Amino acid sequence: MMNGAGSICGMVEAFRPAQKEGKPSIAMTEWGYNDTGAYYIRTLLEEKYDVVSFHATGIGEKAAAELMDQDLFEAFIDLAPGGFSEYLMGGNRATGPDRLDAGLKSGKPYILSPSGFDMIGCGPIQRKDQRDALWTSRKISDRKFFIQDAFRVQARTNPEEMKLIARETAKKLNEHPDKKLVKVIIPLKGFSSLSAQNGPLYDPDSDKTFIEELEKYLDSKIEIIKVDNHINTRDFARAVIDALKRASA
C-alpha cells in the first residue's frame, strides 16, 4: 500500500480533467458540511464548465493543490479550506502551512469561503478522558462540539482562535500578486451546516469576530462578498458564480 505522499502523486499522475464537449475545468473543494452549497454551484456552472470536486479531508485537497500547480484548471473554488485552520489549531485535518498556496500561485481566479474555519477536528471522543494535549490545551470539553461518530468529533472554534485564523488567512491572501483574482465569499448565517442557526456549533459572535478581523487585515484590493444566508443555499452559490465572473473578467 502506498503512503500518503505516494497516494497523492498517484492521483495526480492518473488524473486528467474530462473535457466534456470542450468545456474547461474548474477545481472545487467541498465536504459533508457544505455539500449542498457545492451542489448548487456545480448546477450553475455545469453548462460552461466541468467542475471537478475534491473532498477536503486531507489527501483530496492536497491532490487539488498539486493539480492546480499543473495548470489543469481555469479556476479554484476553495469551499473548504479548513485544513489551513486545522494546521493553526492542531486539529485532525491539518494540511500544513502551505494549504492556501495553490490558489495564490496558479495565476487563476481563486474563490475562497471560510467553511471549516468554524470548527476543530478533535476525535476520537476517547481523547476527552485521556488528558489529550489538544483537548487540554484548548479546553475542548468546555466548548460546543458535535459527535458524528466515535471518530469524527468537531469542536467549535472560539473568538480568539477565529481572530488568529482571520489574520493568518489575510496574510496568505495578501501575498497574491494579482489581487483582483482573489475573492472571499462569507456566508453570514453559517460557514457550514454545523454553525448555521440551530446547528450544534452555532456561534454568530465567533463568526462575526472572524469577519471583522479579516476586514481589518485583508488588503483592500481583495474583494470580500458577504451573503445574507448560510453556505448551503442558492444565494451563496449565486454569489460564488458572480465572484468567479468578476475574477475572470
Residue 4 in this model has a pLDDT that exceeds 70:
no
Per residue in 66-85, pLDDT tens? 888 888 899 999 999 999 99
DSSP code of residue 154: E
Q: How many domains does the chain fold into? A: 1
Query: Does pLDDT of 15 surpass 60?
Result: no
Q: Which CATH number do you get for residue 78?
A: 3.40.50.12030
In a domain, 51, yes or no: yes
Judged against a pLDDT cut of 60, whether residue 49 lies above it is answered with yes
CA distance to 38, 118, 132, 149, 230, per residue, from 94 (Å):
22, 14, 17, 20, 24
Strands of 36-121 (E only): list them. 50-55, 76-78, 110-112, 119-121
0.85 cut: is pTM over it? Answer: yes
Average pLDDT of the residues in 94-109? 91
In a domain, 2, yes or no: no
The average pLDDT across 20-48 equals 92
Please state the rounded mean pLDDT for residues 5-32.
Answer: 64
Q: How far apart are CA 193 and CA 183, in angstroms?
A: 22
pLDDT at residue 21 in the model = 55
pLDDT per residue as tens digits for the range 197-236: 999 999 999 999 999 999 999 999 999 999 999 999 999 9
Query: Closest Cα to residue 67, out of 113, 21, 29?
Result: 29
In a domain, 1, yes or no: no
Residue 12, pLDDT above cutoff 60? no
Per the domain annotation, does 25 fall within a domain?
yes
Domain that holds residue 170: 21-118+157-248
DSSP label of 144: -
Which position has the higher pLDDT, 63 or 35? 35
Q: Is the pLDDT at 50 greater than 50, yes or no?
A: yes
Mean pLDDT of the chain: 90
Give the pLDDT score at 197. Answer: 97
**Residues shown for the chain:** 249
Percentage of the chain beyond pLDDT 90 is: 76
**pLDDT recorded at residue 112:** 98
- Phi, psi angle pair for 213, to nearest 5°: -70, -40
Residue 145 lies in a domain: no
Please report whether residue 132 resides in a domain: no
CB 34, CB 232: distance < 8 Å: yes
pLDDT, tens digit, for every residue of 106-157? 899 999 999 999 999 999 999 988 999 999 999 999 999 999 887 899 999 9
pLDDT (0 to 100) of residue 199 = 98
